[in-house]
Amino acid sequence: MQQLNPLFETPELSVAEFRCRVAAHRRPEAAEQTRGWEIVFLRRGLFVLHASGRETVVTPNSVVFLSPETSYRIEHPRDGGDDCTIFSVKESTIDAMLGRARRSELFSAAHALSAPGAYLAHYALWRRLANRGDALGIEEGVWRLVDLLGRTHGAQGPSRNTPGTRSAVRRVMELLGSRFPEPLRLPDLAKEAGMSPFHLSRAFRDETGIGIHACQNRLRLRAALERIAQGEEDLTSLALDLGFSSHSHFTTAFTAEYGSPPAAVRSKRAGLA
């Protein structure tokens, strides 16, 4: 089942939630093209994006940029589907904000890691939309988000990895995306990739821009943000469920990532409600 739920629309922008509930399949779906300039945040699940001549594992650590000229295909290597927030912005508006050259750079990349601030800004917008927030605040929030992405995101430098190494890193990304709460160990991941621990660590960073542990930790924290915003109350149980060793370990990591402790987000919803 695939469902697109419009959340907000003006002549210059629209926001929608896309929910996909499909069984795993290794054959990419038919090619698609967007109807506009889309910025996509994944909140839950994972999929593989085939675009711009590359295969990229998309997780909640990602932000995807799709232009009308981009032909892409989607593959779902794990059961469970995914939930996405899709921002569609008029080309002339993006150009007015970022300039044509910066817009071209962003959207030619197709995929980037989303910085914590950008992810939190997106999430605040999604929660505001889900709770039918005021239109002015939503519009202003979208423009702030686009501006933030334009200032902080861009194409990663070319990877030095061979196609075989990129495929091995992709397997590890898929494993992290579906098993991030587990106490994974580098030797086990290296065995999955068919590489030595040292070579996997170097290849993963070269391919993704961050280390394996940082990737896992960020996935855990974004899952925590999702559950807190949805009403999770027991932070100790949440911390242990997501793989943190203790409440204090979780609080330290969460505060470093988002600038506020989880208790503050729980009590105030940090502007997300």
Q: What is the pLDDT of residues 203-238, one digit of tens each?
A: 999 988 899 999 999 999 999 998 988 888 899 999
**Average pLDDT estimate for 44-63:** 91
Q: 186-193 and 163-179 are packed helices; what angle lies between their axes, rounded to 10 degrees?
A: 130
> Rounded CA gap, 9 and 67, in Å?
19
Q: Which residues contact 187 (CB under 8 A, 6 or more apart)?
A: 197
CA distances from 196 to 5, 165, 175, 212 (A): 45, 12, 17, 14
Question: What is the DSSP track for 7-52?
Answer: EEE-SSEEEEEEEE----BSSPPPPEE-SSEEEEEEEEE-EEEEET
pLDDT in tens, 55-87: 899 999 999 999 987 889 999 988 888 999 999
Structure tokens of 12? Answer: 């210059």
Q: Which of 205, 204, 206, 207 is closest to 192 using CA atoms?
A: 204
Phi-psi sector, 270: left (phi>0), alpha (psi -120 to 50), beta: left
pLDDT at 188: 94
Q: What is the pLDDT of residues 134-155, one digit of tens each?
A: 888 888 888 889 888 888 876 5
- Enumerate helices (H) and strands (E) in the chain, giving the number of each: 11, 10
Pairwise pLDDT comparison (273 vs 188), residue with the higher score: 188
pLDDT digits (tens, 9 = 90+) for 157-186: 567 789 899 999 999 999 999 999 999 999
The separation between CA 24 and the C-alpha centre of its own chain, rounded to angstroms, equals 19
CA dist 141 and 96 (Å) reads 16
Residue spans per domain, the chain: 2-119+146-152, 163-271
Q: What are phi and psi of 118, to 5 degrees?
A: -70, -40
Q: Look up residue 185 and give its two tokens.
A: 């160990």
2-119+146-152: CATH topology: Jelly Rolls (2.60.120)
Mean pLDDT within 254-271: 79
3-state SS class at 164? helix
Handedness of CA 61, 67, 72, 76 (dihedral sign): positive
Q: What is the pLDDT of residue 154?
A: 62
> So what's the architecture of 163-271 in CATH?
Orthogonal Bundle (1.10)
Neighbour order of strands in the sheet with 54-58 = 32-33, 71-75, 47-51, 54-58
Average per-residue pLDDT for the chain: 88
> What Å distances lie between residue 163 and 61, 108, 206, 215, CA to CA?
22, 21, 13, 21
pLDDT of residue 270: 44
Least confident of 130-144, 193-207, 247-261: 130-144
CA–CA gap between residue 179 and residue 175 (Å, rounded): 6
**Among 8-12, 72-76, 250-254, which range has the highest average pLDDT?**
250-254
